[in-house]
Amino acid sequence: MLNRLLYFRILKKSLIAILAIGVFPAHAATRLMINTIDQGVSGQAQILISKDRIRLTHSSTPRQEMLFLATDRLVFLIHHARKELTRIDPDALQGSVNQLSGLAEQLIQQRNSLSAEKRAQLDEMLKSLGIENPDQISSSEFEITATEKRERAAGIACDWWEVRRDEQIMSETCLSEKTNLAFDSADIITLQTLATYVQELQMSASGLLSSFGLSLPPLGLINETMLPIVLRTPSGTYSATLFAIDQLDVELQLRTPSGYRIISLPGG
C-alpha cells in the first residue's frame, strides 16, 4: 500500500511520471523544464526524452527518479536513499486499482443504509483506505470543454480547456498542437504515450484516486494531436507550466544500480 501511495505522490509532484538509470553521451535527447506549484510550494520538474524512454526528476525529491518505457508502458522508480528500485507493471497496477475501487464502492453502498453512528464508524474505515470524503467518490466521466482563452508558455501558443466532473471544474489545461512543440517527432510520440497512459489511469481509477489526493489534476487530452503545456487546478493549489525546451547530447540507458533492492509493484 505504501509503495502504491509513493507512486502516485511522485506523479502528482512531478506532473508526468518517469526515471532514468544511466545517462551517457551519444544520442540527442529532448529536455522539457516545468515550473510547478503544489500547495503553495514552488518547484521544478525536468523531463528528459530519448528514443522510447522518459526520465523525470523534481526538485522536491532530489534523490528520487522515475523512468517510463513507452514500448511496454513500464514505470521504474528509484529511491536512492533507500537503495530501492520499484518496477510498476501497468496491467498489475490496473488490477490493483480496480480491486481497491471495488472495495471502496461496496463500503460506500453499505454506508448509505447505515445509521449515523455506524456511518461514522465506516467513514473511519474509509479514511484508513485514504478516502477522506466518501461523498466525493464518483464514477462519472470527465467532460472537457473549450474556452475562448489562449496563452503562451515557453513561447508556444495553447488553448485553455476546462475538465469537469459532475458539473465541477476539476482542472484547467492549456493544450497545444504537438507540431508546435518543434522537437524530434519520435520524442513527441513517446511523450504522447506517457500522457495517454496517465489519463487512462485517471479515468479508470475514477474519483478514488482524487480522494486519495495523490493523482495529478486531469490532463484533459482531447485527441492524439494535442498535449498540455500548462495544467492547474481552479483553486490554485496545483499548477505546472512548461517554461523551456532544449536538446542534450545524452542517451537514457536502463541499468539496475549495484546493491539496490528490486521491488515489483503491485505484489512486490
Structural domains counted in the chain: 1
- Specify the CATH number for the domain of residue 125: 2.50.20.10
**pLDDT by residue (tens digit) across 4-29?**
444 444 444 444 333 333 343 445 89
d(CA 76, CA 229): 24
pLDDT digits (tens, 9 = 90+) for 91-142: 776 666 666 666 666 776 777 788 888 888 877 776 665 555 565 555 567 8
Alpha helices in the chain (DSSP H): 2-14, 90-111, 116-128, 185-204, 206-212
Q: Domain range spanning residue 76?
A: 2-265
Cis peptide before 218 (omega within 30 of 0): no
How many whole angstroms separate alpha carbon 131 and alpha carbon 41?
Answer: 24
Read off the pTM.
Answer: 0.76
Residue burial 98-117, b: 16+ Cβ < 10 Å; e: rest: eebbeebeebbeebeeeeee
CA torsion through residues 219, 221, 225, 230, sign: negative
